[in-house]
Amino acid sequence: MSSHFQIPKTQKAAIVESNDAPLRVVSDHPVKQPGELAPGECLVRLDCSGVCHTDLHARKGDWPVPAKLPLIGGHEGVGIVVAVGAHTQDSPVKLGDRVGIKWLAYSCLDCEPCRKGIEQSCEKGKYSGFTVDGTFSQYVVSYVNHVTPIPSSLPSDEAASILCAGVTVYRAIKYSNTHIGDWIVLPGAGGGLGHLAVQYAVAMGLRVVAIDTGAEKKNLCTKLGAEAWVDFKETKDLVGDIKAATGGKGAHAAVVTAATGAAYAQAIDYLRPGGTLMVVGLPAQAKLSADIFFTVIKSINIVGSYVGNRQDAREALDIAARGKVKCFFESKPLSALSEVYEGLEQGKIVGRVVLNMTD
């Protein structure tokens, strides 16, 4: 089905041909045509795409699991459905719908992880911008059962980063065993995931200790509702500062979005008895180090949290659409992607970057 839309034969796209080759932005990459779509597939004309730290790992190839090559990265795309594969039955989306493309491009919906609500760990999962081409292009092929409807009140560029960064931290906080009034520590609070985590935590009635570095990130976290701030480069006793901020007992939970092993190692020390460590950030090369003795006698919970399922995505978007969470981002053209990667690697990006695909 492809009525009303003119679909070009070629498009602009950012392509990683190999991990050590320069990123190439081309204008003649083929667009999959409606007649080539398989049942269940849809073609989305993208308005924009967020840029995630995961995209940098895919570009560098430094994770234990390699991305496919050549690769079009990106997994925070928002756009319009312009075609649906023939013989697609009971499609939940139709032509003209505005939808989001997430990290999880496809899951089988029938394996044990899918049936238990962790479809993001599907045995047959496909991942946007990693195992299948993603959203650093003007058109992308995705799957009707996995694209996410975007609330009408939420602008596309504001919705983009909610699709990964927002969903990821929302689910982690949701499963952190916290209650209204509890303290939650957010390492990396001024970054792309972290600044959204501050807002979701505040919206859920939690008290936030933000950890990051620099005056700009401190100002952002404070403005977003963090009650306490610890600069990890300036403090002489990070654990002591967190305990002091939380009445001497430590935090009830920590959601670690920082991509460093050290951020995890410290968490066991500043969590109070019964506290929960949510493991979210994915360093390229690091081990989860926890003092076994104190993990046991403090009854600490350590929980891995991997993006979110389709319901988590709808909930995260709904909260943002109601004005409780706002992504702070800078808009750039697709041609700026290489410099965005440099900023991510150096830790200089405050908030998020969203690429405009209509330029």
Report the percent of the chain where pLDDT is more than 70. 98
pLDDT of residue 287: 77
Q: How would you classify the pairing of strands 207-212 and 139-143?
A: unpaired
pLDDT of residue 75: 97
Sign, CA dihedral 77-80-82-84, equals positive
The dihedrals phi and psi of 104, each to the nearest 5 degrees, come to -80, 105
Three-class SS state of 334: helix
User: pLDDT at residue 350 above 90?
Assistant: no
Least confident of 63-77, 135-149, 244-258, 342-356: 342-356
The dihedrals phi and psi of 226, each to the nearest 5 degrees, come to -65, 135
- Mean pLDDT over residues 39-59, rounded? 95
User: pLDDT at residue 2 above 70?
Assistant: no
pLDDT of residue 282: 76
- Mean pLDDT over residues 23-47, rounded? 96
Sign, CA dihedral 279-213-204-297, equals positive
- Mean pLDDT over residues 113-140, rounded? 97
CA distances from 115 to 32, 83, 338, 339 (A): 31, 29, 39, 41
pLDDT tens digits along 303-332:
999 999 999 999 999 999 999 999 989 999
Structure tokens at 23: 């990123």
Structure tokens at 350: 């405050």
Domains and CATH numbers, the chain: 10-162+327-356 (3.90.180.10), 166-304 (3.40.50.720)
Radius of gyration of the CA atoms of the chain, in A: 20
pLDDT of residue 5: 87
Place of tokens 């570009």: 59
Contacts of 262 (CB under 8 A, 6+ apart): none
Binned at pLDDT 50, 70 and 90, residue 3 comes out as: low
Mean of pLDDT over the chain: 93
The dihedrals phi and psi of 302, each to the nearest 5 degrees, come to -120, 120
pLDDT of residue 259: 66
The dihedrals phi and psi of 107, each to the nearest 5 degrees, come to -140, 155
Decide which of 358 and 85 is more confident. Answer: 85
Binned at pLDDT 50, 70 and 90, residue 262 comes out as: confident
Contact 197, 305 (CB under 8 A): no
Decide which of 78 and 351 is more confident. Answer: 78
Cβ neighbours of 350 (radius 10 Å): 20
Residue 277's H or E segment, with its range, is strand 271-279
Cβ neighbours of 287 (radius 10 Å): 9
Residue 329's H or E segment, with its range, is strand 329-333
User: pLDDT at residue 359 above 90?
Assistant: no
pLDDT of residue 116: 95
pLDDT tens digits along 136-195:
999 999 999 999 999 999 999 999 999 999 999 999 999 999 999 999 999 999 888 899
pLDDT of residue 284: 67
